[in-house]
Every structure is written in C-alpha cells, then in structure tokens.
Amino acid sequence: SGLGNAPSDPANDRVSVPAGGGMRMGAQGLNGMSFQQMPQTLQRAISLQIRNQLQSAIGNF
C-alpha cells in the first residue's frame, strides 16, 4: 500500500491514495527535519531513490 501498514491490515482495502500522494506525504513528513540529523544510511537510501526516479523519468544523466 505504500502507507507502512501490514499487508493484512484491512484498512489497505479502504484507503485510496491518488497518484503522487505518497510523495507528498513523504515530503510533509520530512518537513522541518534537518537532513543532517538523519542516519547516513537513510541519507544514502533517499539520495539513491531520488536519483533512480529522476533517471527513470528523464533518462540517464
């Protein structure tokens, strides 16, 4: 579901997230959080995910 719920959660069957909703929710969750305060592994994971999404959207750099 992308909402962090367990697959067996019946709420997943009722919740409908519009396209891009997960990205907006993620951005709001990171709002006000210092990027430097996150663990290095999380920083790298986010950087890789953003880069991969950009590459798939516009092609390799």
Could you report the per-residue pLDDT of 9-54, keeping only the tens digit for each? 555 455 555 555 444 445 445 555 555 566 777 878 888 888 888 8
Is the distance from CB of 1 to CB of 12 less than 8 angstroms?
yes
Distance CA 50, CA 3 (A): 18
- Number of domains making up the chain: 2
Predicted TM-score (pTM) of the model is 0.32
Q: Are 26 and 46 within one domain?
A: no
Confidence of residue 57 (pLDDT cuts 50, 70, 90): confident
Same domain, yes or no: 44 and 20: no
Residues 49 and 61 in one domain: yes
Shared domain for 3 and 15, answered yes or no, is yes
Q: Which domain holds residue 53?
A: 34-61
Rounded Cα distance between 61 and 50, Å, is: 13
Six token digits for residue 43? 């920083």
Per the model's pLDDT, the better-predicted residue between 36 and 2 turns out to be 36
